[in-house]
Amino acid sequence: MPAMKQTWSRLGGQLGMGCIGLGLLAIGIAWNGAAGIDFVQGQLPYLLSGGFLGLALVVLGAALIITQGGRRDRAMLEAQLRELNQSLGRLATAIGGPLAANGGMSAAGISAISGDAVVVGQSSFHRPGCRLIDGKTLDTTTRNAAEAEGLSPCRVCRPDELETVA
């Protein structure tokens, strides 16, 4: 279902451009038909039917393009808000938890206090020495905080099997 929603949302801009093109074509055909007739009563049917149809298609196309742009902007804002929410959750865990006495979020400091330091990515958490995160600058937190955020453990380094200090 989400894939279909993305396809339709991307298609909105393309359909909008198509409607605008067809509308302009209808207006051009109406203008051409009206130009071939010398008297006003003969021109009016071309201008009314073709002109109104073309104008309606142009307005519909513009509405589709504006709607698609709004959807794209909303999706981008929602992603940024999710990322901000996760960062604030990590910060609150770092400040409010037993890590506040340590004064930081270093992996060594977390390990010394809790024994279960993990490095968090976008959708999973890893052991500090995991080869998948080598060379990346990522946040460090506790395993419990990462699980509370809904992150899944890495399948390579298996941080869910860390031994906690009693």
Q: For position 57, what pLDDT does the model report? A: 93
* Helix pair 40-96, 2-35: axis angle to 10 deg: 160
Q: For position 98, what pLDDT does the model report? A: 46
Going 15 to 16 to 22 to 26, the CA torsion angle's sign is: positive
Q: Splitting the chain (166 residues) into consecutive groups of 10 residues, what average pLDDT does each group show?
A: 66 89 91 82 82 92 91 90 84 63 44 64 85 84 82 84 52
Q: For position 54, what pLDDT does the model report? A: 92
Exposure string of 64-78, with b = 16+ CB inside 10 Å and e = fewer, is bbeebeebeeeeeee
Q: For position 87, what pLDDT does the model report? A: 83
Q: For position 24, what pLDDT does the model report? A: 93
- Whole-structure pTM value: 0.51
Largest CA distance in the chain: 97
Residues 6+ apart with CB under 8 A from 34: 43, 46, 47, 50
Residues 6+ apart with CB under 8 A from 139: 87, 90, 105, 119, 120
Alpha helices in the chain (DSSP H): 2-35, 40-96, 107-113, 143-148
Q: For position 33, what pLDDT does the model report? A: 82
DSSP code, position 129: T
